[in-house]
Structure 1
């Protein structure tokens, strides 16, 4: 174990904290609380301080109250990051779990870190008397190994961008908090590559925000003004009305809505017709074809083809199923 680590008896608030974490997984016997009152320890380590080294027995299992730790190993004199853990994670030697063997990795603080700890000898003793502790640790380990398997898979088969996106999705906030070279080591990519991916991803996100803004503006304008009912509506005229270029509008339609211009407009027309069909008063006074022309369709065939493409059935069948009058 790394020298100069100062372990102190945990306070009652520390015991309550860790027990609340355990209770979120399974109810805890009051006698187990007494054991934690006796044996739970706390310590604080500084950034870059080693918690335990390679080739030594890790004597404790730790819980991170505040801060971040990383597990590392060395290969051909190169440091390889094997995992990163932050608040509310349990940490110990993976290869020497429960003090069963020498550790093949070392763990170092990424930030100033506050920890709670219990000695493996005490933990192993408690396993024999407290079923709930066995269950809780099984759940914790299951969660860890599932994440480790997913991480190993994406690093083995995914490209650099896929690894980055996986890490960003499964570890929200980590990229803003942790040194980029550390994340690069974990994902087995060069720091320069990860930096480039991060910049490109940021630009893409900015573009997505831009697309979403124009998408909302487009929907609002088309709906409020019922522009879809104009038979001669064209992409360039719609672009002018909402104040963007035709090229930009095409990008919004294709990338944000995944639709062509005509499919986008016809979706509004079909929805308007469906709503009309559900209104008995309208169906008493208008035929389906009359509704189609009023909605903006220029021909019967265009109306029938679009309706069936979008709804999955003909206008007549939809009218029958909704109780509308067939005219």
Structure 2
């Protein structure tokens, strides 16, 4: 989701009921002042540098991450080979949903691709929000619909028969990522070698 986010403060520097995470959610569905205050009180900002990990296999994921700035990717390993499963830029909320919902060790890595500015909320805090603020159930339903569609998109790309069709679909559907992510990660996401992807990029520029 691409929403314009602004972090606002009072003239004294104290936080109001606005933050990038609150504004992101309010752009999806109206939230009351108390819900906004709850989000601020139960979330925290995390700045993390490129290359660091938010999660590794065997660890339990306990947080949701709103990407205010930066890019995250998830991947699994087969031997020495990395297989990128998703790449998310700004204005996305992401997590390891299997680890989170099933309360089981993660099978994937979540890595920071650019210096990133994240807003973090725990699984428990979000669960409490559902009971305290009924409108949050609508926000989360809309988000789930959005991310289920994104999951279908990834499944669709992986089933396209040719590398060229997968790449063309990627640049049509995710143009904001084309020049931000190293080729090897894009190639991994698209299920092709880096050499094949380089050839396709060169062909397109001719």
Whether these two folds match at TM > 0.5 is: yes
- CA distance in 2 between counterparts of 1:13 and 1:185 reads 42
Match of 1:97 in 2: 100
Counterpart of 1:58 in 2: which secondary structure? coil
* SS of alignment partner, residue 56 of structure 1: coil
- Identify the match of residue 171 of structure 2 among 168, 171, 179: 168
Question: 2:205 is matched with which residue: 180, 202, 207?
Answer: 202
Contact 1:60 1:98 in 2 (8 A): no
What runs of 5+ residues in structure 1 fail to find an aligned partner?
1-10, 204-327
2:98 counterpart SS class: coil
**Match of 2:58, SS?**
coil
For each residue in 1:47-95, what CA deviation from the matched residue of structure 2 results, as whole angstroms up to 9, or x when unmatched? 1100111121111100011111100111233211000011111111121
Aligned residue among 129, 134, 138 for 2:137:
134
The alignment yields a C-alpha RMSD, in angstroms, of 1.7
Q: Which residue of 2 aligns with 1:70?
A: 73
Map residues 1-327 of structure 1 onto 2, 5 A cutoff: 12=15, 15-98=18-101, 100-203=103-206
**Structure 1 CA distance for aligned equivalents of residues 170 and 17 of structure 2:** 31
SS in 2 for 1:111: coil
| Equivalent position of 1:227 in the other structure | none
Cα deviations by residue, 1:209-266 (Å, 9 ceiling, x for unpaired)? xxxxxxxxxxxxxxxxxxxxxxxxxxxxxxxxxxxxxxxxxxxxxxxxxxxxxxxxxx
Instruction: State the 1:136 CA deviation.
Output: 1.1
Relative to structure 1, the CA distance from residue 58 to residue 194 in structure 2 (aligned partners, 3 Å threshold; closer, same or farther) is same
Distance in 1 separating the partners of 2:171 and 2:16: 33
Contact 2:160–2:166 under 8 Å retained in 1: no
Q: What TM-score do you get using the length of structure 2 for normalisation?
A: 0.87
In the aligned structure 1, how far is the partner of 2:38 from the partner of 2:115?
Answer: 28
Does structure 2 retain, via aligned residues, the 8 Å contact 1:59–1:98?
A: no
Report which stretch shifted further, 115-124 or 100-109. Answer: 100-109
Cα pair distance change 1:14/1:197, threshold 3 Å: farther
Name the structure, 1 or 2, with higher relative contact order (CA <8 Å, separation 6+): 2
- Secondary structure of the residue aligned to 2:105 is coil
Task: Please state how far the C-alpha of 1:98 moved relative to its aligned partner.
Answer: 4.7
> Counting helix residues as a fraction of each chain, which structure ranks higher?
1
Contact kept in structure 2, 1:61 and 1:98, CA below 8 Å: no
More strand by share: 2
Greater C-alpha Rg: 1
Once residues 84 and 154 of structure 1 are traced to their aligned partners in structure 2, the CA distance between those partners, rounded to angstroms, is 13
Quick one: distance in 2 between partners of 1:73 and 1:135? 32
**Alpha carbons of structure 1 residues 75 and 46: separation in structure 2 relative to 1, 3 Å:** same
